[in-house]
Amino acid sequence: MIIQSVQVAILDLPTIRPHQLAMHTITEQAVVVARVRDTEGREGWSEIATIGGASYGESTPEAIKANIDTYITPHVIGQDPIRFGKIMHDISIHVRGNLHAKALVESAIVDLAARQRNIPAYELFGGKIHDGLPVAWTLASGDTGKDIEEAKEYLHQKRHNIFKLKIGKGDPMKNVEHVLEIQKAVGDRARLTVDVNQAWDEDTANQCIPILQDGGISMIEQPLPGWNHEGMARLADRYRVPILADEGATSIQEIFHIAKHRAGNSIALKIGKTGGLTAVKQAAGIAEAAGLGLYGGTMIESDLGTAMTVQLYSTMPPMKFGTELFGPLLFKDSITTNRVEFRDFNVIVPDGPGFGVEVDHEKVEHYSREKGVLA
């Protein structure tokens, strides 16, 4: 039951509406999927997403695929999937950086190891603590009235009671006014957070954060560039509203630095940017030991990537700020035959073998840039 092959493909998945961030507007999301097969024909699948090519971070879909095909796969073939810790340790010796690529490979191996034993993947990480996780939705129409109506409708449906607004693009003060009108409309029925996506300098942050804080906004995500740990520390010390580190909190070494210097008082976890499932659990342990709040972030993954993340997060203590694992709800279609479930303001943890979802091979082929790679 050793690993016989590793195959990687880039898919382009259309969204139901534009999803606007400071650095990019998503109308079609690139995701990278991997399939690992063993000698008995079993398959393990995984997905990693990036945003806007190289606009969000250094890893691009094309680089992820090329580096796995060329540099990582030779260290995987012939290995026993259950020894995924050793496999990834050996890869770390030979391959520097490439955190998204390592995360994709590790996750596919974990899915295969769990399926070989007919157990959910979360059993390989200590077992689940939660059956569901609170999930936020991003209000992104740009129209205050439409966003208010959308928020009220999702509250009525019991789909979301946490809402996030992207405010890194355009006039900062107009964005703040937009946020406060929505906060006033939903009142105490929902919690609002904002994400600046690194778009402010420290002067702008000091103008806007006091207004957002007084308006009842519950958390402010990455107001400053990721490299500006000193500035983030000053903001975290100055204001009572939590300051969340995301783009500045990638590797476990960076997260240790943030914890040590209080460059933010909470951390957004993401499998891709941290380097894999095991690395995310390590990152969460560092944050928990330092008394930092946790947030389950997203890179806008489909059902497959979301199932991976939900299963892992289910093994961790409660996250102070919940999650934003809404990705499947943003896509027009799914690459799995069964969907991740959302109800009662939660995303539900899948319980099937592996990551609990079954890949639709025809859909993967349909959305793949290069046909026949995963045939």
By annotation, the residues acting in catalysis are 166
Burial 54-72 (b: 16+ CB within 10 A, else e): eebbebbbebbbebbeeeb
Q: Tokens for 25? A: 């507007």
Distances (CA, A) of 225 to 177, 179, 230, 238: 23, 21, 11, 18
Distance in angstroms (rounded) separating the CA atoms of residues 191 and 139: 12
> Which two three-digit tokens encode residue 17?
């509406």
What are the helix (H) ranges across the chain?
Answer: 61-67, 84-94, 99-116, 144-157, 172-186, 202-214, 229-238, 252-261, 271-274, 277-289, 303-313, 327-330, 361-367
For the chain, what is the radius of gyration of the CA atoms?
20
Measured in whole angstroms, the distance separating CA 319 from the mean position of its chain's CA atoms is 14
The string of DSSP codes covering 3-58 is EEEEEEEEEEEEEEEEEE-SS-EEEEEEEEEEEEEETTS-EEEEEEE-STTTTSSS
At 115, the amino acid letter reads R
Note whether 198 and 204 are within 8 A (CB): no
Burial label, 96 (beta-carbon count in 10 A; 0-12, 13-18, 19+):
exposed
